[in-house]
Amino acid sequence: MRDRAQNAIAECLRLAAFTEEPGRITRRFLTTPMHGVHDHLRVRMMELGMSVTVDGAGNMRGLWAPEGANKRRLVIGSHVDTVPDAGAYDGVLGVCLGLELVRIVKERKLAIAIEVIAFSEEEGVRFGVPFIGSRAVAGRFDPALLELKDAEGITLESAIRNYSLDPAKTADAALDANAAAFLEIHIEQGPVLEAEGLSVAAVTDIVGQTRMRLRFAGHANHAGTTPMHLRHDALAGAAEWIAAVERLARETEGLIATVGKIEVEPNAGNVVPGVATVSLDLRHSSDFVRVVALETLLARAGEIANRRGLALVSKRMMDQPAVPMDERLTAFLVEAMEALGLPPKTIPSGAGHDAMVMASKVPTAMLFLRSPGGISHHPDEAVREQDVENTLHVAASFIERLAADLK
């Protein structure tokens, strides 16, 4: 299995060469470098005896259907677009491992059909909306998305046409009823497995997420002549609330809360801040816990604003419920770990993935492997060969269990 792991890593590095920016890995939805990715994957898929297509949303799809296999198939996939100045493994590794698993299935003569999908878009970089590729495959592509424009004023519809595809056929990308299960393999993009010294983990769920914008408005005034007890300092109020956000998150098990953006007006060193606008990113596996935490934090913001003589306006930017993975398929992953002598670790995903979209269409499982240093979305993103090898062992054992189940 080691040679399979080495090959998957090498393939990720080869695909990293297809980029919009020399010296940096940047590959947005259906930009020119995606042709290089598709050409490379097409050759690899055809070498494996797979039939290859590109659907109306730009997803590259390879199907391995051996003689005697059940019509119901396993779908394996992840994305091949990137954030700007990305690492070489986010998303892409899951596609490369999917092809290695087809090779393993062929060698073991398992009678199971496998479709490998390289999703065209997950990151949301070019058009500001994520999961364009998997939305189409899950049958959730809204035609209104075709009107979106990128920074150059190119519409999504034009981008698809410019790639020699037909945007009218995005609906045809949806999976048919023979798709029995979906598996996504992905680097963790976090530090948990690294901290615990573990190679792999089965994902139990993808956490729910709320994004808010809060505007604390006071009164700007001269910093030297306005006494402290007569100030209506918007930034001081926002800072008190930010400390309350961190305190609640530390006191609530599993709650992740981040204030990552602050905008201050007039933003001058000798002026009492008149307005402070802050972001809130709130995540938890339990929607109930997340909602209660949000209510608590909004109430706290209101109390701080009233006490300090500030006006408060809050706006909800996003509200995504938690998405559980399929319990039966997750159990297959856990059983595979145990059979291989690996700790049966389960973990929620704090980041969104194509799996959360696919779960609305088909039973879905997700397998994480360690991110050394917990680093991702960065050129220093890496994987360890042994972890990739362990991942292949677990995934191959998972497929054997699924094949037996489908019989």
- Tokens matching residue 400: 């054997």
What single-letter amino acid sits at 213?
R
Distance CA 11, CA 17 (A): 10
Residues 336-383: pLDDT tens digits?
999 999 999 999 999 889 999 999 999 999 999 999 999 999 999 999
Q: Start-end ranges of CATH 3.40.630.10 in the chain?
A: 2-206+322-406
Residues 192-251: pLDDT tens digits?
999 999 999 999 999 999 999 999 999 999 999 999 999 999 999 999 999 999 999 999
Q: Start-end ranges of CATH 3.30.70.360 in the chain?
A: 208-320
Under CATH, to which class is 208-320 assigned?
Answer: alpha beta
Residues 44-64: pLDDT tens digits?
999 999 999 999 999 999 999
Residues 137-183: pLDDT tens digits?
999 999 999 999 999 999 999 999 999 999 999 999 999 999 999 99
Distance CA 165, CA 185 (A): 28
In this prediction, residue 70 carries a pLDDT of 85
CATH tag for 2-206+322-406 (out of 3.30.1360.40, 3.40.47.10, 1.10.3720.10, 3.40.630.10)? 3.40.630.10
Contact by Cβ (8 Å): 73, 180: yes
The pTM (predicted TM-score) of the whole model is 0.89
Q: Is the confidence at residue 68, as pLDDT, over 90?
A: no
pLDDT band at residue 407 using 50, 70 and 90 as cut-offs? confident
Distance CA 27, CA 33 (A): 7
Helix (H, G, I), strand (E, B) or coil at 320: strand
Q: CB-hemisphere CA count at 13 Å for 228?
A: 1
Q: In Å, how far are 77, 98, 318 from 183, measured between CA atoms? A: 7, 9, 26
Residues 277-323: pLDDT tens digits?
999 999 999 999 999 999 999 999 999 999 999 999 999 998 989 99
